[in-house]
Chain A
Amino acid sequence: MSGVQQFLSHFFITGPFEIGGDVSIGLVSIAILFILTRYKLWGWLWREWLTSVDHKKIGIMYLLAALLMLFRGGVDALMIRTQLAIPGNSFLQAEHYDQIFTTHGTIMILFMAMPFIFAMMNIVVPLQIGARDVAFPYLNAISFWLFFFGAMLLNISFVIGGSPDAGWVNYPPLAELRFSPGPGDNFYLLSIMISGIGSVATGINFLVTILKMRAPGMTLMRMPMFSWAILATCIDIIFAFPALTIALGLEFMDRMFGAHFFTVSGGGNPMMYVNLFWMWGHPEVYIVILPAFGIFSEIVPTFARKKLFGYTAMVTSLLLIAIISYFVWLHHFFTMGAGADVNTFFAIASMFVAIPTGVKVFNWLFTMYRGRIRTTIPMLWFLAFVPNFAIGGATGVMLAAAPADYQYHNSYFLVAHFHQVLIGGVVYGMLAGMYYWWPKMFGILLEEKWAKWGYWFFNIGFYVCFMPQYPLGLMGMTRRMYTYPAGMGWTTLNQISTVGAFIMGLGFIFIVWGIVTSILHPVKDTTGDPWDARTLEWSLPSPAPHYNFARIPQIEGRDAWWAMKQKGLTKLDDSTPIVPIHMPKSSGKPFIMGVLFFVAGFGFVFNWFILAALGMVGVVILLFSRSFEYDTDYYVPVDEVKHTEALYGRS
């Protein structure tokens, strides 16, 4: 084989799945290119989306990306479950299996859950607090494109260079160069570091937005609960992500420059990585669940037609959870052997989290008590969440009992626990939020028939898939085993679990189909307030105009929009004159910045340092050129605002 051939055969991975991947990626790309060219959509795409700094559009792009990643991660999951359906299966080889569970976990947490929460906060927070955009719209676009190109970088590893295969936690020494040579783990490190920069920027951006840009009269204690949840989330993001950056950065130094942070032979200590990783990792699970709590806190009062029970307790418990989440990280490795005293501290701290969490669940239930409940789709997802999270919390407390965890640790019991909270909590919450705010995003209502089929299949499938995994764990089946022999007594439970996974897959298809039919046969949301809801975003027409509020409303209490409706208003006060509205200009730089980071990341992955340097230099040039740009915003003239408002039948 010639050198070039040899290089290419390592560069492009060839195997049945990869070729399948190549073909489908190729076909989808061709289809997209064709549609864009055929309908002359390139200019539209660039002007309206790729260069947009509008939080609503950025939110929609996050949402699309999250759904796509949910699909990719879901396909990974089905392959895992297919392999485990029968003992001694040879559907996947060990190496392949490792790659698939690694990308599954990485994608689901970092490239599905994270963009999903970013989607929700982008779409909702400014509308809910009466602002016209986020504090730093340009930075917001950068965050999105860093996430997007980070995700792309991870996804191309499937067909170019090889996927990472050391688990989503990427522990050394396995993830070190010696045991994981080749570019796979570099893909993991680079893609997460790039998107991580974006996540931190989002945290800062929304914290400033929420603290500084609320409408006049909206004190913190009048703020809608979802915005409170995002505030707590942002605090967690700002203080947790640096630990991940360092954990991955040091591993990167080990792999690229032969440093010895985690290689015992050179004086390193792999447990240092594990600690740093979970100092981020545990707060991270709350970073993704708190927004879901926030979403439920909006949905339950709306569909129970009652104000949220125990507002102050809800705020307190949110903040308590955010803070306690920093003091529990060691429960992910009680078996490190830190000693009984240390383990006891972390065990008790972990169990403490259950208290504020319980407060929240009971407050939702009390909000429903004697309410006139409408079982709409968002409400159904909430109702499914409650028992799910109760079981997930209970098994979490079981795992947090340090001595017992020596038995459960890294078994299928653990796998069942975190899927219970991540699917039953985060995914259910995000789906509920998607159904709830869809009319606000797109101005159309979602149909209910397929949505219900999707709901029942997904929910029943969930229990069929994951309940068997608890006993499997207790019977000794450990996580990440690519196959198991017959005669362990594990076969039946595994088969049931696999069936459940496919039922969930069907549920996902129904959900998507419901969305597709709603788009094909749109029912317009003409009122802007289809649920008869309580918070400010529903006072706007759907979808909201690009400047959100023609006039910033004056807030007098909680549930601002509900209070106005009680006073007989049907729209926001429009007696004051409209003034020109100050808005940020679109910019192509955030997108280009994403491309440059991608180039740099790609260079590092293959140790092509010249390419990496070129990418980084490009990033720096872009940063400085932006600093010299002064013409970054403009005023929307009064006539244009009046015209737009008139289109919505407002004045």
Chain B
Amino acid sequence: MAVDAHHAGHAVDHSKPLELSTEEGELKILGFWFFLAQDMILFACLFATYIIMHNHTAGGPTSMQLFDVPGFVAETLILLTSSFTYGLATFEMRRNRLKGMITWMVITALLGMSFVGLEVNEFIHYATTGAMISRSGFLSAFFTLVGTHGAHVTLGIFWMISIMVQLYKKGLNPVTARKAFIVGLYWHFLDIVWVFIFSVVYLPGVMK
């Protein structure tokens, strides 16, 4: 794109993918990358805290006693799949097929909801056995780390729905494409964070 595109305001560069075809799109996507960078540090701090706290159970339940292998494996599979289905939505967007795109987004959101449902279930189950956030340092760190991720996912679902509505109402244009693309970045990012939760929290938590 020409260096001075931002003087032209809404100029569209058709040689680029729709979401990057305007200056606004380019700026917002770059800005979102920086947002993700700071979110990554945020999670890194939570992970560090969790690693320190893992064995500080203060006589309460340990990760070994608590974590339920089929449960977290199911959560993992569902979230990974949802990242893939969002990838398909982006794929349809690049081909300018709105219907296919929205369909995949709906599927993604449904998968996201089942993930959150399972997680809430898991948390409630822990809480009923007395494993609450106030029980020990370990549980504080666990609930905060995994809960922060879950809150991110929940927000992402609502956000995705609102973008679907906008896509439905306005069709595909540089603005809606950019919005859908950014939700996608967010969603994939959360997926990556979950991979870390899986391999830093759950796996070592159930291994001797």
Interface residues of A (CB under 8 A from B): 131-132, 135-136, 200, 203-205, 207-208, 211-213, 215-217, 238-239, 241-243, 245-247, 249-250, 253-254, 257-261, 265-269, 272, 276, 279, 552, 579-582, 620, 624, 627-628, 630, 633, 635
Contacts and interface: CB of A to CB of B under 8 A. Distances in A.
Given A627-B166, A635-B9, A267 B31 contact: no
Contacts of B159: 627
A276 B44 CA distance: 11
Interface of A is mostly: helix
Given A239-B41, A627-B179, A208 B6 contact: no
Contact of B58 (A258, A260, A579, A624): A260
Nearest to B9: A582
A261 B6 contact: no
Contacts of A213: 6, 27
Nearest to A136: B31
B173 to A, nearest CB: 10
Given A136-B27, A246-B42, A272-B49, 11 more contacts: A207-B34, A212-B6, A212-B27, A238-B38, A247-B45, A253-B133, A254-B140, A259-B133, A582-B9, A627-B159, A627-B179
Contacts of A207: 34
Interface string B56-94: 111000000000000000000000000000000000000
A213 B26 CA distance: 11
A212 B26 contact: yes
Given A242-B38, A276-B45, A552-B4, A261 B140 contact: yes
Contacts of B141: 261
Per DSSP, chain B at the interface is helix
B53 interface: yes
Contacts of B133: 253, 257-259
A208 to B, nearest CB: 5
Task: Identify which of A215, A246, A260, A628 gathers the most chain B CB atoms within 10 Å of its CB.
Answer: A260
Nearest to B32: A204
A342 B189 CA distance: 33
A511 to B, nearest CB: 36
Contacts of A620: 158
Given A135-B27, A136-B27, A213-B6, A242 B39 contact: yes
B57 A267 contact: yes
17 contacts: A212-B30, A243-B41, A246-B42, A250-B144, A253-B144, A257-B134, A259-B133, A260-B134, A260-B136, A261-B144, A267-B138, A276-B49, A279-B45, A581-B9, A582-B10, A620-B158, A635-B9
B95 interface: no
B175 interface: yes
B170 interface: yes
Contacts of A257: 133-134
Contacts of B137: 260-261, 266-269
Contact of A267 (B28, B46, B56, B144): B56
A253 B145 CA distance: 12
B42 A245 contact: yes
B162 interface: yes
The 6 closest A-B pairs by CB, nearest first: A582-B9, A267-B56, A267-B137, A258-B134, A259-B140, A267-B58
A267 B53 contact: yes
Contacts of A272: 49, 52
B127 interface: no
Contacts of A633: 9
Contacts of B52: 269, 272
Contacts of B10: 582
Contacts of A552: 4, 7
